[in-house]
Amino acid sequence: MLERTLAILKPDCVRKNLQGEVIARIQKAGFKILGMKQLRLTKETAGAFYAVHKGRPFYDGLVEFMSSGPCMPVALQKENAVADFRTLIGATDPKDAADGTVRKLFADNKGENIVHGSDSPENGKIEVAFFFSERELV
C-alpha cells in the first residue's frame, strides 16, 4: 500500500547546502516527490508542528532550531514510505545511526540532525497536510 511521509530538510541541512545531496539519496531510494518547498518557520509554526513534544525537555530548543533558518518540507510517497524513510535517514542521534544513512553521513549531533521523518503512517498524512494542500501535491 502506498504511504505518504514528510521529510523536512532542517535548517542545518540548508545552511550546509546539502539539500541536493539529500534529495538525490531520497530519489535513489525509490521515493516519489509529491511536493517540495523552501520556507522559514516562525517559532509559532514550528511550535505548532512539534506540539506533540510540548513539555518535553528538548521542545524549546527544537522550536528555536527549526525557526533559525530556512528549511525544506518534502512530501514523499512509496510503498512502506514511513519505515523505509526512517531506515534511509538513520537514528535520531548520528552517533547511533547506521553507516551510510543520511544522519550518519551529514548530521553534527542529535539536536541538529539534518532531516525530519514522520514516525507513523498516520502522522505522515497529518504532517504532509500541515505543509501542503492536496492541490500542491503532484
**Architecture, CATH, for domain 2-136:** 2-Layer Sandwich (3.30)
Q: What is the mean pLDDT of residues 49-78?
A: 96
pLDDT given at position 113: 97
* Helix or strand holding residue 111 (H, E): none
Contact call for residues 74 and 33 (beta carbons, < 8 A)? yes
Q: Where are the domains of the chain?
A: 2-136
Contact call for residues 53 and 59 (beta carbons, < 8 A)? yes
pLDDT given at position 64: 97
pLDDT beyond 90 at 1: no
Task: Give the model's confidence band at 30: pLDDT under 50 very low, under 70 low, under 90 confident, else very high.
Answer: very high
pLDDT given at position 120: 96
Residue 53 is among the residues annotated as catalytic for this protein: no
Contact call for residues 10 and 116 (beta carbons, < 8 A)? yes
* Strands lying side by side in the sheet with 2-9: 32-36, 72-79, 2-9, 115-117
Q: Considering 116, 118, 128, 131, which one is annotated as catalytic?
A: 116
pLDDT given at position 27: 98
pLDDT given at position 105: 98
Distances (CA, A) of 2 to 47, 92, 128: 29, 25, 14
Interhelix angle 19-28/81-89, rounded to 10 degrees, is: 130
Q: What is the pTM of this model?
A: 0.96
Task: Give the model's confidence band at 78: pLDDT under 50 very low, under 70 low, under 90 confident, else very high.
Answer: very high
pLDDT given at position 32: 98
Task: Give the model's confidence band at 130: pLDDT under 50 very low, under 70 low, under 90 confident, else very high.
Answer: very high
* Burial environment of residue 55 by CB neighbours within 10 A (0 to 12, 13 to 18, 19 or more): exposed
